[in-house]
Amino acid sequence: MIEKDIDSIDTFFTLFMQVFKNSLFIYERTFTKNDSTMKKHFSNINMLLLIITGMMLMALDANAQTENKTTSLPNPVVPKKGIHSLAVEVGPAWITSKMYTPSGKYTWRTGMELGGEYTYSSPKGWGIGFAYMHNKTSYPDADIKLDYIGPSLIYGGEFSARWRAKVSLGLGYASINDGDDVTDIFSSVKYHSTQEGLGTRFTAGIEYVITEHFGIGATLQNITLYLGKRHYYYPGSKDDINGVDRWSLNLGLHLYL
C-alpha cells in the first residue's frame, strides 16, 4: 500500500513539474524576450518550485506511511460519485508585467489576491468550474484593482487517502481599474479608469481532505488580462502585449457539498 501511494505521488508530481516548467518556458519566451531581470526571476521560480515539490513529496510520503500503520484515524469519506465544492481563497500575488505610471516603470509588484470558486468534478476526473478573483496592488501613484470572472475546465482526482489534486484552464471577463478617469488636455479625449478585456486563468493545486465536507488547499494561479490596442502615448516597446499578467499563491478553505 505504501509503495503504491508513493509511486502515484511521484508520478503526479513528475508530470506536474514537467507541464508547469514547459508552461513557464513558453511564458518566458513570449513575454520576457531579452529582459535579463525577468529571466533571473524565472530562474528563481524554477528553483523555488523544486524546493517546494521536494518538501511536499516528503510530507506526503510520511503521511502515507502514517495512515497505513495507524488504524485509529478515521478514513476520509470522499464520494466516488461527482464532487461539488465551494472554495474561498486568499494569498499574495505578483504583477509580473511592466506597469508604467507617472513615477516610473515597475515590474514584480506584490499585492493581495482574494476570490472564490465553485467546481464540479466527475468520477473520471474531468469537471467544470466558475471563479471570481479580485486583486489589489499598490503603486506610488495609485492602487491597481484587477478583477476576473469566468468558467473553467478542470481535471483532477485523488492520489492518496486524503490528498486530491487538480489543474484548470479558464477563459472569461477581466478588467483593470487604476483610479479616476483622466481627460487628455491636448486631444480632450477622456480615458476611463476601468479598462476591460479578455482574461485567461490557469491553476494547479492540491487539497487535503479533513472530513467528508471540509478540506484545505493551496493553489498556484496565473491570470492574464489582454486589453487589445494600446493608447498612442504608451511608452513601452511596440512589441509589448497590452495587458496585465499576475501570479498568486492562494490558501483556501474547501466545502464539499
Residue with cell 499576475: 246
Residue 249 Cα distances to 15, 61, 70, 110, 113, angstroms: 20, 23, 32, 12, 8
Q: Which domain holds residue 207?
A: 79-256
222 & 185 share domain: yes
Q: How many CB atoms lie within 10 A of CB 39?
A: 13
The position carrying cell 513615477 is 103
Same-domain status, 67 and 118: no
DSSP conformational letter for 231: P
Separation between Cα atoms, residue 175 and residue 228, nearest integer Å: 12
For range 49-71, the mean pLDDT: 51
- Taking only the tens place, the pLDDT of each residue in 213-247 is 999 999 999 999 998 765 544 455 555 567 899 99
Mean pLDDT of 105-131: 93
Q: How far is the C-alpha of 7 from the C-alpha of 173, rounded, in Å?
A: 40
pLDDT in tens, 137-188: 988 888 889 999 999 999 998 888 899 999 999 999 999 988 765 555 555 5
**Same domain for 107 and 60:** no
Shared domain for 100 and 227, answered yes or no, is yes
CA atoms within 13 A on the CB side of 136: 6
Average pLDDT taken over every residue of the chain: 75
- 173 and 240 in a single domain? The answer is yes
Number of domains the chain contains = 2
Element (H, E) at 68: helix 36-69
Residue with the larger pLDDT of the pair 32 and 214: 214
Residues 235 and 63 sit within 8 Å (Cβ to Cβ):
no
- Looking at per-residue pLDDT, the higher value among 105 and 1 belongs to 105
Which of 51, 73, 95 is the last residue in one of the domains?
Answer: 73
Q: Are residues 94 and 57 in the same domain?
A: no
CA 170 to chain centre: 11
Last residue of a domain, one of 73, 99, 126: 73
The CATH number of whichever domain residue 211 belongs to comes to 2.40.160.20
Q: What is the mean pLDDT of residues 202-210?
A: 96
Q: Do 56 and 87 reside in the same domain of the chain?
A: no
- DSSP conformation letters of 12-67: HHHHHHHHHHHHHHHHHHHHTTT-HHHHHHHHHHHHHHHHHHHHHHHHHHHHHHHH
pLDDT at 195: 86
d(CA 46, CA 233): 35
Task: Tell me, yes or no, whether 63 and 94 share the same domain.
Answer: no
Confidence of residue 105 (pLDDT cuts 50, 70, 90): confident
d(CA 171, CA 177): 20
Q: Tell me: do 64 and 87 sit in the same domain.
A: no
